[in-house]
Chain A
Amino acid sequence: MTFTVRARILLLTIAPVLLLAYPVLVYFPAQFAAASRNGLEAKLGSISRLLGHTLGSDLHLMASGGVMAADLEDQIAGLEDDGDVLRVGVYSAEAKFLAGLHSTATTAPSVEGLVPQGERRALFESTPGELRIVSRVFVTPETDEGEPPAASKHVGYLVIDASLASVTKLQSEQRATAIGIGGAALILGVLLALFVGTRISGSLTEATALASEVGRGNLRVALPEPKGSDELASMLGSLRGMVEGLHALEAQAQAIARCDLSTITEGEGDLHKAFAQMVTQQRELVHELSETATELETSSHEILATLRDQEAGANEQASAVEEARRTMISLLDASAQIADAAKLVHTNALRTKESSAETADRTGQLNQLTVRIGDVLIGITKIADRSDILALNAALEGTKAGEAGKGFILVAEEMRRLAENVLGSVRDISELVEAIRVASQASVLATEQGVKLSLETANSANQIRLTSQQQQSGTEQATQSMNEISEILTQALSGARQTTGAVEDLSQRASRLRELLSQYVLEDGRP
């Protein structure tokens, strides 16, 4: 909870009045009431003692019949005019009502509160607004001279009821008086507090408004000239000094805004110190930032160059992997084609083996035929040789026959020429047959070799087919791996490009930061 200055002055003014209200309104009336009651009690005690002396003899005599109740009433009739006494009652020692004064009460008092043992009287508030005093009444019998005095004898009780109305009335009157005086003082104080509070609060409100404007950053407020030398004038002077200091700090802040850190405003106080410390730290910060920006720019350039090399390398790797992947696919197709071709070769090799075996059989038969041809040729050769000899002899004989044998010689020569032709043909045939035989043997060997090669070819083709299938499987796995590698490289390339872009951006930002920091002017004039 906050209170305005005016409220505080008002509260401080009212508070003493309120503090005085209690003793004025409560304490002093209560003291007056207590004093009044004490007086009443003393009065009742005195009455009780006086009447006790008077009534003691009567009560003593009343036992012997010398005094009547009416006599007792006469004794107490004097209290009838007392405004405080309400009722009076006289009782015997046995608490029997004997007489009473009823002029102010309708009922006789009863001996309700007996006097404690050993006490002569007791005073107490029997009902609200009433006091009761109960006194034991004694009588001292008269003795003759020379005799010791007789002991006092309890002969009865005297009961007096008194009203506290006078006391209450006095207290009320005292309270009313105090209320009147206190209220007037309170009103006067409030008015005085309002007047003083308004005077002080007005100046404070004006100073507060100016301080608020300054607090909101408005340093162009018109500050009034301080008048006098009181606290308000001193406060305005301090406010003016504060505004001037803030003007100086504003000028330095504007210089800082223009990146000029070369000067530090002179001044006392935490704010100036904090400002000077801020400028000093800002200089160090700018210096460190400049160095850091330069290093960052250099490092980013180096990283950028490295990243571009890496990107180029990644591109080459990606190209190589792509080439390898295409090669794998080509290998895969080639493996499939090789497997198919090997299967076909295997089938053809088996067929070739069968046909080669058949060819070997046929060649063997051909070889046998050439042997038979050779035998025939030998016979022909013998015949031709004999024919040659025969023709020569015939020609010889024709020669010897002279002219007659010329025709014979011609025939013989023809026969010999025929025989020689036969022999030449036989030689040619023999050579052909020999060539056929040699070729047949070579063919047999070649066929056997062919069968062997066919078997080896079939086995090799089967092996090639199996190997090609394994290679195909391996190539498929390798192709899958190359696809995965290609995808990873693509992602890596994308990441490298993103990193390159980020580093380029970082480099540009570092350059921009360095340019911005170069605008700062530090204490030694260097940027």
Chain B
Amino acid sequence: MSEAGALEDESSPAEVAGSLLVFRAGGTTLGIETSFVERLVADDLPRTAVPGAPAHILGVINHRGAAIAVLDLLTFLALPPADDPTRRLVVVRAAGMGAAIPVQAIGGIERVEFDFARLEDAGALDHTRGLLDLESGPVYVLDLPQLLQAAAARPS
């Protein structure tokens, strides 16, 4: 929360209105601010394995002529797995890094007004800003810049 507090201190007022892309990774419903989402594609692009990459990097794909790493949130965040396969890739960009996150399903784009400072504690789940209660259920709001930095920084 300290990292979230830093972001809040840098750019965000205490309560902002924004959009949240809600998706399901494994058995967990997560949310990413749409400002970090670049594009959604079908998870049918050919992946190229990267030798020596960490376990949460599944490989790279060619997205509009650029190589983007495929980040496995289940492995990286130690989320519980799901029975169904991933069907979408959420192409995100933050902190100057891009990544493609495979997800099982896209819940939609939720327009919300939220105060990151008053989000409930996500508990043991790292790299989150907190837990947000929506009509469709609780959503863990990811701190994507921190996530991507941590993913990039974690050794294999």
Contacting pair B88 A409 (CB below 8 A): no
Q: Tell me which residues across on chain B come within 8 A of A259, comparing CB atoms.
A: none
The DSSP consensus for interface residues of chain B is strand
C-alpha spacing A393/B88, complex, angstroms:
12
Verify if B13 is at the interface (C-beta below 8 Å from A). no
A389-B42, A389-B88, A393-B40 known; A399-B34 Cβ under 8 A? yes
Contacting pair A396 B21 (CB below 8 A): yes
Within 8 A of A (CB), among B22-70: 34-35, 37, 39-42
Interface size on B, residues (CB 8 A): 15
Verify if A395 is at the interface (C-beta below 8 Å from B). yes
C-alpha spacing A517/B35, complex, angstroms:
143
Contacting pair A416 B39 (CB below 8 A): no
A389-B88, A400-B35 known; A395-B109 Cβ under 8 A? yes
Interface size on A, residues (CB 8 A): 13
C-alpha spacing A393/B42, complex, angstroms:
11
Verify if A434 is at the interface (C-beta below 8 Å from B). no
A396-B21, A399-B19 known; A409-B109 Cβ under 8 A? yes
Verify if A14 is at the interface (C-beta below 8 Å from B). no
C-alpha spacing A393/B109, complex, angstroms:
10
Verify if B122 is at the interface (C-beta below 8 Å from A). no
C-alpha spacing A425/B145, complex, angstroms:
39
C-alpha spacing A395/B42, complex, angstroms:
16
User: How many Å from the CB of A382 to the closest CB on chain B?
Assistant: 9
Contacting pair A393 B34 (CB below 8 A): no
C-alpha spacing A241/B53, complex, angstroms:
173
Q: Tell me which residues across on chain B come within 8 A of A399, comparing CB atoms.
A: 19, 34, 109, 111
A385-B42, A389-B41, A389-B88 known; A400-B106 Cβ under 8 A? no
Verify if B108 is at the interface (C-beta below 8 Å from A). yes
A399-B19, A399-B34 known; A393-B39 Cβ under 8 A? yes
C-alpha spacing A68/B142, complex, angstroms:
245
Verify if A386 is at the interface (C-beta below 8 Å from B). yes
A389-B88, A409-B109, A416-B108 known; A396-B42 Cβ under 8 A? no
A399-B19, A400-B35 known; A392-B109 Cβ under 8 A? yes
Known contacts A399-B109, A400-B34, A400-B35; 16 further A-B pairs (Cβ under 8 A): A385-B87, A386-B42, A388-B106, A389-B40, A392-B106, A392-B108, A395-B108, A395-B109, A396-B34, A396-B37, A396-B40, A396-B109, A399-B19, A399-B111, A413-B108, A413-B109
Q: Give me the interface of A with B, judged by CB distance under 8 Å.
A: 385-386, 388-389, 392-393, 395-396, 399-400, 409, 413, 416
